Amino acid sequence: MKVRKGVPEHGRRGVPEYEERKGLLDYGAQVLCIFGFSTLCMLIFTALFGESAREVSSFFALGREGIPLAVLGEFLLLAVIIVFLQFLFFTDCCFRKMPVIGRTVLMLLSILAVMSGFIAAFDWFPVRMWQPWVMFLLCFLLCFGGSLGISVAKTRLENRRLQEGLERLRGQEESVGKAGPREQEGSEK
């Protein structure tokens, strides 16, 4: 990164180059996190229901033996799409004036639509049976609730750390302000 007079050189979109790289790394990390979590959930479901659902779903085509590679590829593609939707709805590129709750609802509906398309296209379960849809919606809501809880806890922890840092900074400013003019000059040298 080039620095000119203390200002970082900006990349293509007016964002400092290091921010663009950070965004790409964050995007990849989110994709892998979603993919890993969904794979873990599917491993649990495979262990519990694999044998009984072997003939009904492409998820369980191997029974309790594992998850087919094709399904893992579909999960990876789905994770990429979900992270793209998060980027679309939670950056200011498209929905600048929409409240966060509206963005969240639209994103969830978009994810549900994409997942429904994947269910139908990849034969994840029979689309004409209501029981798999109920289980799918329950799992989706459970996962969303869990991720929401984790996000809220993470935000509270970060806010508390920022508040503590701000209080320390204020304490340092007060101690510098209490020092006499000679002590301040001596500390600057």
pLDDT tens sequence across 54-97 = 877 888 888 888 888 999 999 999 999 999 998 888 877 777 78
* Per-residue pLDDT tens digits for 102-149: 888 899 999 999 999 999 999 888 888 888 888 888 888 887 887 778
Contact 119, 75 (CB under 8 A): no
pLDDT tens figures, 169-188: 888 888 776 665 555 555 55
Examine the pLDDT at 1 and tell me if it is beyond 50: no
Say if residues 38 and 78 touch (Cβ distance below 8 Å).
yes
CA 144 to centroid of chain Cα atoms: 11
Tally of CA atoms within 13 A in the half-sphere of 189 that contains its CB: 5
Task: Report the chain's mean pLDDT, rounded to a whole number.
Answer: 79
Whole-prediction pTM value? 0.67
Amino acid at 110: S
The Cα-based distances of 177 to 168, 180, 181 in angstroms read: 14, 8, 9
- What three-state secondary structure class fits 93? coil
46 contacts 67 by C-beta, under 8 angstroms: yes
